[in-house]
Amino acid sequence: MRVHGAGLQFILHEADDGGTRLLLRTRTGPGRQAGLRFTDVLLQPGYLVMDRAMLLGITQRAERQAKKDRASAESPLS
């Protein structure tokens, strides 16, 4: 996804322990207006907090769904 010269990627990466890691990559660069780049620097701590909360929420929902799927697969009534 590209927004005003910035890039955003969600990446699923297979972990060594057999699990999956969800990564978020953001990028801004020289194609972005100077004023927006300056604003990005000022807002970066807030972006970090919001991005972390978003990733944790996605993780919680995915793990909750996986737990439900395992329980229904193990249920003798299935």
Domain assignment of residue 68, given as a range: 2-74
The reported pLDDT for the residue numbered 3 is 56
The reported pLDDT for the residue numbered 42 is 92
User: At 38, is the secondary structure helix, strand, or coil?
Assistant: helix
As given in the structure block, the two tokens for residue 78 are: 């299935």
Decide which of 20 and 4 is more confident.
20
* Confidence grade of residue 18 (pLDDT, cut at 50, 70, 90): confident
As given in the structure block, the two tokens for residue 4 are: 């005003």
Q: What is the pLDDT of residues 35-48, one digit of tens each?
A: 888 888 899 899 89
* Confidence grade of residue 27 (pLDDT, cut at 50, 70, 90): confident
* Pairs from 48-54 (Cβ < 8 Å, separation ≥ 24): 51/24, 51/26, 54/24
* Confidence grade of residue 57 (pLDDT, cut at 50, 70, 90): very high
Measured in whole angstroms, how far is the alpha carbon of residue 75 from the centre of its chain? 32
Number of domains in the chain: 1
**pTM flag (> 0.85):** no
